[in-house]
Structure 1
Amino acid sequence: MAAFPARASHSHVALYAALINAVIIVFLSLYPFSGWSYSGRPLFEFLFYPLPYYTRLFDNAANLLIYIPYGFSLALLLVPRWFSLLLALLVAALTSISVEFLQEFLPTRIASNLDVLCNLAGALLGAVLAVSPWLRKHWHHLWQWRRRHFVAGSAVDYALLAMGLWFLTQLNPALPLFGVVAYPQGLPQPYLSPLENPRLFLFLLEAGGAASNMLAVCLFITCFVANKAERGKFIFLLLLSAWLLKLLAAGALLKPFAFFQWVNPHLITGWAAGFLLSWLLARCSRMVQTFLAILALAIAQTAAVLWPLGGVQADFLSLFRWPYGHLHNMSALVDFLSDLWPATALLCLGLGLWQQLAAKWQRR
């Protein structure tokens, strides 16, 4: 019974997780959102087709896996277990049929009833996991871990959800780790430099952007950690997890010659500076860390805006050994989430700052 209060109190977190999953599903299903036209065939006809004879295992697995977290988060919205499972299946079915219906108007997409069945299977699996007694037990342990290591307040729960979003932005190994800019793969490009030394200008943007981005991400976590002595441990775990994720993604997706595409001397300089600053500033008060995280976010985004070189997506995709059709969607999704994450982090930091000021005012 102890798991129910925690679950009920986190209904907003589950709701936002479900919304984020819905946005990802819609983006992957309808990208590139162009070429809309009506073929003239009866609407919803795809639901009554015979199941396709030829299928690809990757597509079916992807359609199943992407709905598992969606069904999981939907099933956490309500306390009655089996009612929440039915709600998750109903909403997932409506979502799947809706995006397949919209695919009928995209010439590059094919509406499929098999996709709907795979989506529902994934949603059912996620919902069953969410309502199972085994997970309720471990969910309670996870809630206790969160209470031990992080400060009180809903901002922490949203921040942990936002960190999951940030890790998704690292799934493209062609993009630099903690980098906010990337060198194009094609011919050298002319650009205007405000400094006399144009190489120094690029170095400052690339290394400075990586340092400020690492500082922002690290302080984003440590400003919610309750115990000062544990902040260094969380920085280490964050950086190690990000490094291992990039290595795993590079090994699985990139061609051998491009395995370390996401590493260069400018980035290493930025990482060293960002790590040193993160380690030192993690000792500051929560409020100071929150302000510094907001400032570091702003600097990182400014470096991205000032970066004068533009890459062509086809050049980056040539580094991969996967079929380009899937990579276009994945690359576009990572770019979209990378643009979304700073705003999400800023909202979490702003809410955390507001809760700190409210608690300080109440103590007076």
Structure 2
Amino acid sequence: MTENTPAEPAAPAPAPSPTAATPPPAAAKPPLAPVSRTSPITRAALLAYLLLIIYASWFPFSGWHNQGLSPLIFLETTSMPRYWTKFDAIINVIGYIPLGTLIVYALYPRIKGIWALLLAGACGLLVSGTMEAVQTYLPSRVSSNLDFYTNAIGCAIGALIGVLTVRRLLDQSQLQRLRRAWFAPHASQGLVLLALWPLAQIYPQNFLYGLGQLLPILSEWLSQLLDMEIDLGNMIRPDVELTVEQYWLSETIITACGMVGAGLTLLCLLRKPSPRGLLLSAMVVASVVVKALATALLFSPENAFVWVTPGAQAGFLIGAIMLAGLTYAPHVAQRRLAVTTLLLGLVIINTTPANPYFVATLQTWVQGKFLNFNGAAQFLSLLWPFFAVWFLWLPSHKLNAAKVS
């Protein structure tokens, strides 16, 4: 028999090389701090507000001529103006507070802190001084050192508010997160435009949402320029008297077009997760509230809802039905329909004669202390539809970014 030999013991496993050792787990990285970003919406808002200040300060833009006064005459006197009120001073301060705040927001994060405060204050002095200097060429306006100082103070207060709130609002705000979740990346200019739509209802208009009635203003300017009576409305439209039913039909179309045009402009900026119905309803409700409050303030409380006519009610109902049906339409279709309705509304509002009842009511309006405010309101009322059409015709890829879910 063959003798069994014991098996050789297995060789021990080699010790692991120090260089081949498993690396220790990486240390947990601290959460990244929020990145400061520029805010296109604040820059667009700053530009819009600056245009409002210019229009309000130089309204009514007529009678320009050199009165033989130094443009800096308001700085050459230390005495107070002969006619001034606490109301005027307070309005001047309040009117420039948003300007200072928006300047600081627009500069962030490139310039912040004390430097942003100083730069915004200097811009307030420059803007206010320019407005007062140009007013020396307008016989209907009076430049004033009180206006200059109160405007500058208002801008400085606004700049301080901006410095204290800019980080919380632009870097850590829930509003910023909702902005990125609900709206397209390039919707900033559109959001500013839509925020101004309710404010455009302040100035008295022939019809509800009847913005963009330029012919009376153009007729007045041409009459002054050519020193002769010119009525562009009579040149364009037939010289016929409209019946009450025809006025109501025109008002129905104008109201529906204005409401649908603004609503679709909002809808084509929204992402899929956004609460479209809620946002759309909020914008429309805001326009109605502003319209009622402005009518009560400018005329009388009992006239707060005088604009609720049968034509306005029918147009509002038609507009609501159209917006409900188009809420989830493709963005391209929403944009094209918005342009179509806005242009149709412009054509009808500028070819429909003024309502005699509206003209009689307007004659009771005493602008008085609200002259500057009314100038800015008229600016919005006249030009909002044109700005909206221009925005909707921007390169389509900016608006189509709203398709991203």
* TM-score in terms of structure 2 length: 0.76
- C-alpha distance in 1, partners of 2:96/2:120? 10
Aligned residue number for residue 223 of structure 1 = 268
Cα separation, partners in 2 of 1:124 and 1:94, compared to 1, 3 Å: same
Q: How far did residue 302 of structure 1 move?
A: 1.6
- For residues 271-290 of structure 1, the C-alpha deviation after alignment (integer angstroms, 9 at most, x for no partner) is 00000100111121222211
Cα separation, partners in 2 of 1:356 and 1:256, compared to 1, 3 Å: closer
Contact 2:96 2:158 in 1 (8 A): yes
> 2:315 matched to 1:270?
yes
Please show how residues 68-147 of structure 1 align to structure 2 within 5 Å: 68-78=97-107, 79=109, 80-81=111-112, 82-132=114-164, 134-139=165-170, 140-147=173-180
User: What secondary structure, in the 3-state scheme, does the structure 1 residue paired with 2:130 have?
Assistant: helix
- C-alpha distance in 2, partners of 1:43/1:343? 33
Aligned residue number for residue 62 of structure 2 = 34
For structure 1, list consecutive stretches of 5 or more residues without a partner in the other structure.
Answer: 185-189
* Higher mean C-alpha deviation, range 220-229 or range 279-288: 220-229
Q: How far did residue 157 of structure 1 move?
A: 0.8
* TM-score in terms of structure 1 length: 0.83
Aligned residue number for residue 389 of structure 2 = 346
Aligned residue number for residue 325 of structure 2 = 280
Cα separation, partners in 2 of 1:359 and 1:106, compared to 1, 3 Å: closer
User: What secondary structure, in the 3-state scheme, does the structure 2 residue paired with 1:260 have?
Assistant: coil
- C-alpha distance in 1, partners of 2:35/2:150? 30
Q: How far did residue 176 of structure 1 move?
A: 4.0
- C-alpha distance in 1, partners of 2:304/2:402? 48
Q: How far did residue 351 of structure 1 move?
A: 3.0
Contact 1:228 1:283 in 2 (8 A): no
Q: How far did residue 4 of structure 1 move?
A: 5.6
CA RMSD of aligned residues (A): 3.3
Contact 2:56 2:376 in 1 (8 A): yes
- For residues 231-253 of structure 1, the C-alpha deviation after alignment (integer angstroms, 9 at most, x for no partner) is 11112111221122222223333
> 2:95 matched to 1:66?
yes
Match of 2:182 among 149, 170, 173: 149
Please show how residues 323-338 of structure 1 align to structure 2 within 5 Å: 323-338=366-381
> 2:351 matched to 1:299?
no
- For residues 134-193 of structure 1, the C-alpha deviation after alignment (integer angstroms, 9 at most, x for no partner) is 442133322112112223x21x111111012222211235654323599x9xxxxx9848
Aligned residue number for residue 293 of structure 2 = 248
- C-alpha distance in 1, partners of 2:126/2:54? 12
- C-alpha distance in 2, partners of 1:359/1:280? 19
Contact 1:172 1:334 in 2 (8 A): yes
Contact 2:212 2:386 in 1 (8 A): no
Based on CA coordinates, which of the two structures has the bigger radius of gyration? Answer: 2
Q: How far did residue 328 of structure 1 move?
A: 4.9
- C-alpha distance in 1, partners of 2:176/2:361? 41
User: What secondary structure, in the 3-state scheme, does the structure 1 residue paired with 2:106 have?
Assistant: coil
Contact 1:72 1:123 in 2 (8 A): yes
Cα separation, partners in 2 of 1:175 and 1:85, compared to 1, 3 Å: farther
- C-alpha distance in 2, partners of 1:313/1:32? 21
- C-alpha distance in 2, partners of 1:236/1:270? 16
Aligned residue number for residue 160 of structure 1 = 191
Cα separation, partners in 2 of 1:311 and 1:67, compared to 1, 3 Å: farther
Aligned residue number for residue 18 of structure 1 = 46
Contact 1:3 1:137 in 2 (8 A): no
Q: How far did residue 108 of structure 1 move?
A: 2.3
- C-alpha distance in 1, partners of 2:261/2:138? 39
Contact 1:174 1:319 in 2 (8 A): no
Amino acid at match of 1:300: G
User: What secondary structure, in the 3-state scheme, does the structure 1 residue paired with 2:316 have?
Assistant: helix
- C-alpha distance in 2, partners of 1:345/1:26? 20
User: What secondary structure, in the 3-state scheme, does the structure 2 residue paired with 1:351 have?
Assistant: coil
Q: How far did residue 41 of structure 1 move?
A: 4.1
Cα separation, partners in 2 of 1:119 and 1:84, compared to 1, 3 Å: same
Contact 2:197 2:287 in 1 (8 A): no
- For residues 61-103 of structure 1, the C-alpha deviation after alignment (integer angstroms, 9 at most, x for no partner) is 2211221121122112322212222221122211111111112
Contact 1:174 1:261 in 2 (8 A): no
The aligned length equals: 347
For structure 2, list consecutive stretches of 5 or more residues without a partner in the other structure.
Answer: 1-31, 217-233
Contact 2:252 2:311 in 1 (8 A): yes
